[in-house]
Structure 1
Amino acid sequence: MNTVLSVLALLVALASLGLVLQQRRAPGATEPGDVSDLPEDALGLRHEVAALRAEAATALQHLAVVRYDAYARGSDANLGGALSWSLALLDDHGDGTVITSIHGRSEARTYAKTISAWRCDQPLSPEEEEAVGQARG
């Protein structure tokens, strides 16, 4: 019985809220989707949207990280802890970079390679290729 009363009270509260919001709407306000209130300079807005889309295409949007143990061999494959990694950072055109950090027991080395049109002039390691492939989708 308490559940029924709670649900009924909730419905009454929602209906009241709807009435209050409807009364607060400014006189002459348009409904969502009504295009009569669009600025006259719609062509200017289209140019702005096109410029924003072009700018977004060069943003680094395609990211992927591959973690691995660079020194694992044979039966020791699961003992290292996967501290090495390759990170691909690419835009919509496949331009960007892949950064690799290889961690050993006493040192760490970091490398960066330039990617252009989803390809690299330098040889990529299997992990780097995997990161670029995952970033590409």
Structure 2
Amino acid sequence: MDAVAVIACLLALVACAAAGLVMVRLRAIQRNFRVLWGGAQEGPDVANVIRAEHDRITSLDQRVTALSARIDGVTDHVAAGLRHVSVVRYDAFGDMGGRLSFSAAIVDDRGDGLVISSIHARGESRTYAKGVIDGGSELTLTPEERQALAAARTDREDA
């Protein structure tokens, strides 16, 4: 019986040591959870920080969605703006130099707009405007006007 009592005491002692180790580990885990959930005075509450960041991201997502809708609306207006421009300068008459005559094409993304030409002669200067729809005109375009229109439609200076 003495041997059984000694073994039981040893087992009880080992169980107490194991329980002590488990208690130390449990205290460490509880301390970590107190830090996470704001129970300790060691720093900010992680749950509140995460909640605040979630709210901030949600707000930013709503703003990005609203801005995206506005950009889609502005894109149509930009495409309709007369923003493609090209100027071709030339000598309209062989006896005059200085390339004082010009043709300027001003069109939108679809090719709608106008071509303005100014023909400079010795005693006078004449200016003409021709409407352009879808890259073409009902009126006959001169080679210089066609060159200016082609350059404006491709956003190049030397079409």
Q: Which runs of 4+ in 1 moved over 4 A?
A: none
1:56-98 per-position Cα deviation (integer Å, ceiling 9, x unaligned): 00111111000000011xxx5xx51110000000000100000
Q: Is 1:71 aligned to residue 88 of structure 2?
A: no
Q: Is 1:92 aligned to residue 109 of structure 2?
A: yes
Q: Is 1:101 aligned to residue 123 of structure 2?
A: no
Match of 2:100 among 52, 61, 83: 83
**CA RMSD for the aligned pairs?**
1.9
Give the drift of 1:128.
0.1
Q: Tell me how far apart the structure 2 counterparts of residues 125 and 108 of structure 1 sit (CA, whole Å).
A: 17
Q: Which residue of 1 aligns with 2:72?
A: 50
Q: Which has the higher contact order (CA 8 A, sep 6+)?
A: 1
Q: Which residue of 2 aligns with 1:116?
A: 133
Structure with the higher helix share, 1 or 2? 2
Q: Tell me how far apart the structure 2 counterparts of residues 131 and 40 of structure 1 sit (CA, whole Å).
A: 45
Which structure is larger by alpha-carbon Rg, 1 or 2?
Answer: 2
Q: Is 1:38 aligned to residue 60 of structure 2?
A: yes
Q: Tell me how far apart the structure 1 counterparts of residues 63 and 89 of structure 2 sit (CA, whole Å).
A: 50
Matched residue type, 1:109: R
Give the TM-score taking structure 2 as reference length. Answer: 0.58
Give the TM-score taking structure 1 as reference length. Answer: 0.67
Q: Secondary structure in 1 aligned to 2:75?
A: helix
Q: Among the aligned pairs, what percent are the same residue?
A: 42
Q: Tell me how far apart the structure 1 counterparts of residues 113 and 121 of structure 2 sit (CA, whole Å).
A: 27
Task: Structure 2 unaligned segments of length 5 or more: list them.
Answer: 1-48, 50-55, 155-159
Q: Is 1:132 aligned to residue 149 of structure 2?
A: yes
Aligned residues: 99
